[in-house]
Structure 1
Amino acid sequence: MKIVYMRMMSTGSRELDDILGGFPEGAIVLVAGHPGAGKTTLAAQFMYAGLKAGSPGLYVSLSERRELFYMHMKELGFNFAYYEERGLFKFVWLPLMKNIVSPLNEVLMNIRETGCDRLVIDPITALIDQVGREGGREFLHNLINVGLRPAGVTSLLIADLPYGREVIGYGFEEFLVDGILVLRYEEARGLMKRMIEIRKSRWSDIPRISYEFVIGKGGLHIYTPYVKGLKGGFDAEKRHSTGVEELDEMLSGGLPRGSAVLIAGPSGTGKTMLALTISLTEVNGGGSAVYLSFEEPEGQLYQVARMIGMRKDSLHITSISPRQYTPGAIYHYVSNLVENMKPGILVLDGLSALERQYGSEYMELIKSIGLLCKAEGVTLIMTSLHDMLKGERAGISTLADVVMALTFERRDDTRCRRISVLKARAVPHDTRVRDMEIVESRIYIR
């Protein structure tokens, strides 16, 4: 049976709010995790969300002093000194004492004096470890049931979780709180991946237990696949010119705005050239485009773009290696590009590199990026190494609204490029396989 709470408060994380609905007013949440996993960052994020909403907060630290805390948090975009000067925030550093009653009284006194709505104790395990299992149980019981619940303060209790251990503290801590979040590291393909596990939530159903996250400006950014849902769509009445007159004719006027487009073909067939041509046509026509490559270096792409006709590096081109990023980090990177650059067109060039690196996680990542672009009204153009005209299957073709297939055909001693529009949802299109030529950095279709 779920406990009924009066009001929900933001966790500070947009994604965690989507998952849990926020933290209930007056709830006690245990945040446990490995050293350096992001516990303090999440706690600060929770606290800062309240301060921005005008809700007073109290942060009790038993490890990090005020100056260091403020310095580290400012790097993430949290200016606690600003709210301290305005009387909304108080930071209390408590040195460990043999008499555990003194820290308890100090916490309760500060709760009364500040009238805080949000409280963080970081870490609670430092106090519990001082008095052992029985003393710790009594201390935590009194803190929660005598101090925090009557005060109605929404509290995050931070607990250190040593590497290799799954049980938090002495075990009894988990039964006294309303929610438990566990932050940990996992090794994946030689990279350290941060994960957040929702181990307990009395106020909400948990659709999924664990999620990957990254730490950046603003704190934790949780990778929640498909969170955008089936929002948005493409506009068949509004089009992007491809920059190739004959291809526009094959598509009855160009690519629908907001559509997902797959350009598939073997190496050398002209996928990158076509994607760059579409992007530059958009930019030169007064629109905006971002070009993200997973295989080719930026300098090389800029050189090709200038040959095609780029004006003063007007197209934003960037390259990253999937070997250096987890799927969640890739999604966060793309999400930032979409949010900050607000492009009309986003190109993901070299999806085969992602497929090789991420295996079974690849489709989930691409679908999530596709839904993000749909929700934001961005036209997504993807290139992939699949010879679909020779029968090769590309799993992501089911996610695409438009599929353009490129291939080679041998004629005597010459390899000729060929192109066909295999699919174009809600758009009348020419399905013939036609010759494609690249002459002096220009694409022509016969």
Structure 2
Amino acid sequence: MGVEGLNEYFVFGVEELDRRFTSAIKLGGIVAIVGGPGTGKTTLASRICFINASRGYPCVYISTQEFKEKHYTNMLGLGMNFQELEDRGLMKFINVPIPGTLEHVEDLFNLITNVVNEMKARILIIDSITPVLRVLASDISRRAWLQNFIYTLSKALRGVLVLTVEILDGDASVSDVEYVADALITLRQEQTHGLLVRKAHLVKMRGAQIEVSEVPYTIREGFGVEFWFPPVLAEVPPPSSETLRMPCKALSESLGNLPKGSYVYVAHEVRPTYQLWVPLLASLAKLNRLGKLLIVSYSSSPSEWFGNALNALISSGVPKDLAEEIIKTYFEVKSLNPASYSVDELYALELSLAKALKPSVIIFWEANVPEFIHMSHDISKYSFYLTNQLFLLKSLGITTFRFATALNEEIYKVTSFLATASLKYLIDPDKGSHLLIWSNERIKKLHEKDLISCVEECASILKKG
């Protein structure tokens, strides 16, 4: 059970909120979560309940919207097993009728008070308080009574009171709740070019400074809610002293050892070539004992990517059976259709994959597809998210490669300006292909014979026991 006294603390259950705003969710605190239907209010409230109850602080969940079975099933899919907490005596879920009169409101509050005392609850969720606000909206004295009740209840809890507020067109102001809340989070979702955009607005965090008031958020299967704050540059580490050894002589001499957490941008005149990069990436993983590399593919399904990668390894001289084993050992492929997501959702989804899978290296394959789709709408917004993503991946110690077709010079400049190294693969009909490498403020050129030799060296590494 939770330890009472000075050592007690409560959490949002969302990593980035807890890292920045722990002081806003404290003993006797009130959290208000405001938003329209389907924005994730219930998911965030449930996360607060679930994580704190898992830490030993009993939670009572009052719902005017869902029955227990449906709620438990929905939340289980988001990684929250409320039935297990209930079996341990740490959770009580009560569905109540929507109050329509002042008498109903008084009955509801009497019920809440009795259940909280009986359960010795430390966390109380009221999902949602909106029906009560509607009953009391026209009477100033009743609204004052509501504010006083909420405040008194939060203190009696010796824990945290969470209120969800549903906002529809024409609804009254939420000022009654806002006035008493220590933390006020508004969740919004809208359509941009027909694609979903989710944004959280941090209106109030008592006792904490709000440096960024609007952040994208996602609702992820098996986990719940995640908030994606831009990184604080002071928290982004300097280049790592640990480096990645290059798997062939030509790259070692031109690129040197690459600090972990670096960003490498690789541009092609046409689509990225599997024949060059798959042997190189696989041998890089083997040589540096990196485990599985995460491939985020924007134009190929995992099976198609694996098929192309297999052919590339075989053509480099790796036997088929060994090539299949190499692919299973060193590559994990996730495919995303960037036309199905807003740039906000795509950014958050990519970071969710990185945090969930924790790769040492992430490779965005054919990144020109999202670049073309989203930069054509808003190049400054895409640049904003790309910059934040690269800093966040660096802060996680993840080395990033972006392989793309160089669509035009403007996009190339935007996507390569933060790169530790920038590579450009060019094809000359007369002289063959060559690779331009910009690194450490100097440019080097690898000719086709150098690239062929590099692939041969990589294949040799892969064929060794």
TM-score by length of 1: 0.85
One-letter amino acid of the structure 2 residue matched with residue 408 of structure 1: I
Relative distance call for 1:150 and 1:317 in structure 2 (3 A) is closer
Conserved? CA contact 1:32–1:168, under 8 Å: no
- Name which of 254, 258, 263 aligns with 1:260: 263
- Name which of 425, 428, 434 aligns with 1:406: 425
Indicate yes or no: 2:240 matched with 1:221: no
Relative distance call for 1:237 and 1:13 in structure 2 (3 A) is closer
Deviates further, 176-185 or 145-154: 145-154
Relative distance call for 1:32 and 1:282 in structure 2 (3 A) is same
Q: Secondary structure at the match of 1:407?
A: strand
Indicate yes or no: 2:251 matched with 1:247: yes
Match of residue 385 from structure 1? 405
Match of residue 290 from structure 2? 287
CA distance in 1, matches of 2:427, 2:142: 72
Indicate yes or no: 2:379 matched with 1:371: no
Relative distance call for 1:214 and 1:166 in structure 2 (3 A) is farther
Question: C-alpha displacement at 1:116, in angstroms?
Answer: 1.6
Conserved? CA contact 1:263–1:271, under 8 Å: no
One-letter amino acid of the structure 2 residue matched with residue 88 of structure 1: L
Indicate yes or no: 2:289 matched with 1:277: no
Question: C-alpha displacement at 1:55, in angstroms?
Answer: 1.0
Conserved? CA contact 2:121–2:157, under 8 Å: no
One-letter amino acid of the structure 2 residue matched with residue 248 of structure 1: S
Relative distance call for 1:167 and 1:322 in structure 2 (3 A) is farther
One-letter amino acid of the structure 2 residue matched with residue 330 of structure 1: L
Conserved? CA contact 2:196–2:341, under 8 Å: no
- 1:380-433, Cα deviation, whole Å (9 max, x unpaired): 111233389x998522323111122222335xxx363221221137xxx7x333
Give the superposed CA RMSD. 3.1
Alignment of 1:43-442 (within 5 A): 43-97=45-99, 98=101, 99=103, 100-134=105-139, 136-162=142-168, 164=169, 168-169=173-174, 171-216=175-220, 217-226=222-231, 230-235=235-240, 238-242=243-247, 244-252=248-256, 254-268=257-271, 270=272, 273-285=275-287, 286-288=289-291, 289-309=293-313, 310-312=323-325, 313-314=327-328, 315-358=331-374, 359-386=379-406, 393-410=412-429, 414=430, 416-424=432-440, 431-436=443-448, 442=455
Runs of 4+ in 1 over 6 A off after TM superposition: 438-441
Q: Secondary structure at the match of 2:372?
A: helix
Deviates further, 228-237 or 118-127: 228-237
Match of residue 34 from structure 1? 36
Conserved? CA contact 2:136–2:143, under 8 Å: no
- 1:237-294, Cα deviation, whole Å (9 max, x unpaired): 632324x442233234x534332111123225x5554432332213454532122122
Q: Secondary structure at the match of 1:363?
A: helix
CA distance in 2, matches of 1:237, 1:122: 49
One-letter amino acid of the structure 2 residue matched with residue 311 of structure 1: E
Greater strand content: 1
Q: Secondary structure at the match of 1:110?
A: helix
Q: Secondary structure at the match of 2:269?
A: coil
Question: C-alpha displacement at 1:45, in angstroms?
Answer: 0.2
Relative distance call for 1:204 and 1:326 in structure 2 (3 A) is same
Conserved? CA contact 2:280–2:455, under 8 Å: no
CA distance in 1, matches of 2:217, 2:410: 38
Greater helix content: 2
CA distance in 1, matches of 2:399, 2:225: 28
Conserved? CA contact 1:233–1:374, under 8 Å: no
Question: C-alpha displacement at 1:131, in angstroms?
Answer: 4.0
Deviates further, 357-366 or 49-58: 357-366
CA distance in 1, matches of 2:108, 2:242: 67
CA distance in 2, matches of 1:237, 1:40: 43
- Gaps of at least 5 residues in structure 2 are 1-5, 314-322, 458-465
One-letter amino acid of the structure 2 residue matched with residue 75 of structure 1: G
CA distance in 2, matches of 1:165, 1:207: 31
Deviates further, 283-292 or 121-130: 283-292
One-letter amino acid of the structure 1 residue matched with residue 14 of structure 2: S
Q: Secondary structure at the match of 2:381?
A: helix
Conserved? CA contact 2:35–2:165, under 8 Å: yes
One-letter amino acid of the structure 2 residue matched with residue 202 of structure 1: R
Question: C-alpha displacement at 1:85, in angstroms?
Answer: 1.8
Question: C-alpha displacement at 1:101, in angstroms?
Answer: 1.5
Conserved? CA contact 1:279–1:291, under 8 Å: no
Relative distance call for 1:118 and 1:423 in structure 2 (3 A) is same
CA distance in 1, matches of 2:242, 2:137: 69
Work out the percentage of aligned pairs sharing the same amino acid. Answer: 22
